Structure 1
Amino acid sequence: MKRTLEEISRAHFPNAAATPAQVAAFESRVGWQLDEDLRAFYLHCDGATLFRRRPDANYRILSLAEIERARVCLRGEDDDSMGAASWYTIVYCQDGDYVLVDVASSGGPYPLLDAYHETYPQQLRQIAGSFREFLECALASDNRIYWLEE
């Protein structure tokens, strides 16, 4: 993860690091703990855009303050009919599309899911087994949404 974070700092657009107090406040707010990869990322940078600056970034990793339950973000309702309570937004991919982190398994690593706004919550698919895997694939993508190339 160290090399990946160094690449983000060198070639992309990271935010300033979150403090341990900000991480603790986030975990208290959402009721789950960041896994090892997410904790390392947020203590390195509290969100980032990859390849291009906002608003043109295909990959905008949300800051801790921006992460919210997916069903609230995508459907405006905190109701089980609008998706699992364990799905949270983590990456904004333009046009209302998100990558979600599924925190159902305690401790992680947490899988990441593609959440296309028009088919959410009926159709989701896992696109990475961990945040580390997601970052590695995204950084190797040359700014393409890598899971759409399959």
Structure 2
Amino acid sequence: MQTLLEELSRDHFPNPPATAAQVADFEEKVGWRLDSDLRAFYLHCDGATLFRRRPDAKYRILSLSEIERARVRMRGEDDDSMGAASWYTLLYCQDSDFVLVDVAQPGGPYPLLDAFHETYPLHVRQIAGSFQEFLQRALRSSNKLFWLSD
């Protein structure tokens, strides 16, 4: 993970790091703990864009303050018919499309899911088994949404 974070800092656009207190406040607010990959990322940078700066970034990893339950963010309702309670927005891909983190498995690693706004929550699919896997594939993607070519 450290090598990926160094590459992110060198070649992309990280935000300043979150503090340990911000991480603790986030975990208290959402009711789940960051897994080791996400903890390392957020203590390194509290969100980032890859390849391009905002607003043109296809890969915008959300800051802790922007992460929210996916069904609330994408459908405006905190109801089981609007997606699993364990799905949270993690990455904004423009046009109301997100990559979600599924925190159902306590402690992680947490898988990442593609959430296309037009078919959410009916068609959500896993695109990486962990944040580290996702970040590695994203950094090698030449700014293409790598899961769309699978």
Structure 1 length normalisation: TM-score?
1.00
Give the secondary structure class of the aligned counterpart of 1:29: helix
Question: What residue is the counterpart of 1:26 in the other structure?
Answer: 26
Distance in 2, Cα, partners of 1:13 & 1:40: 16
Question: What residue is the counterpart of 1:109 in the other structure?
Answer: 109
Question: What residue is the counterpart of 2:140 in the other structure?
Answer: 140
Give the total of aligned pairs. 150
Question: What residue is the counterpart of 1:56 in the other structure?
Answer: 56
What is the alpha-carbon root mean square deviation over aligned residues? 0.3
Matched, 1:82 2:82: yes
- Structure 1 position 136, deviation (Å): 0.2
Distance in 1, Cα, partners of 2:17 & 2:125: 30
- Structure 1 position 40, deviation (Å): 0.1
Structure 1 residue ranges without an equivalent (≥5): none
Question: What residue is the counterpart of 2:36 in the other structure?
Answer: 36
Distance in 2, Cα, partners of 1:149 & 1:63: 27
CA-to-partner distance for each residue in 1:56-108, whole Å, 9 max, x for gaps? Answer: 00000000000000000000000000000000000000100000000000000
Give the secondary structure class of the aligned counterpart of 1:125: strand
After TM superposition, where is structure 1 displaced by more than 6 Å over at least 4 residues in a row? Answer: none
Distance in 2, Cα, partners of 1:11 & 1:140: 12
CA-to-partner distance for each residue in 1:10-64, whole Å, 9 max, x for gaps? Answer: 0000000000000000000000000000000000000000000000000000000
- Structure 1 position 133, deviation (Å): 0.2
Structure 2 length normalisation: TM-score?
1.00
2:31 maps to amino acid: G
Give the secondary structure class of the aligned counterpart of 1:113: strand
Q: What's the % identity of the aligned pairs?
A: 75
Distance in 2, Cα, partners of 1:93 & 1:138: 12
Distance in 1, Cα, partners of 2:123 & 2:66: 23
Give the secondary structure class of the aligned counterpart of 2:49: strand
Distance in 2, Cα, partners of 1:149 & 1:120: 19
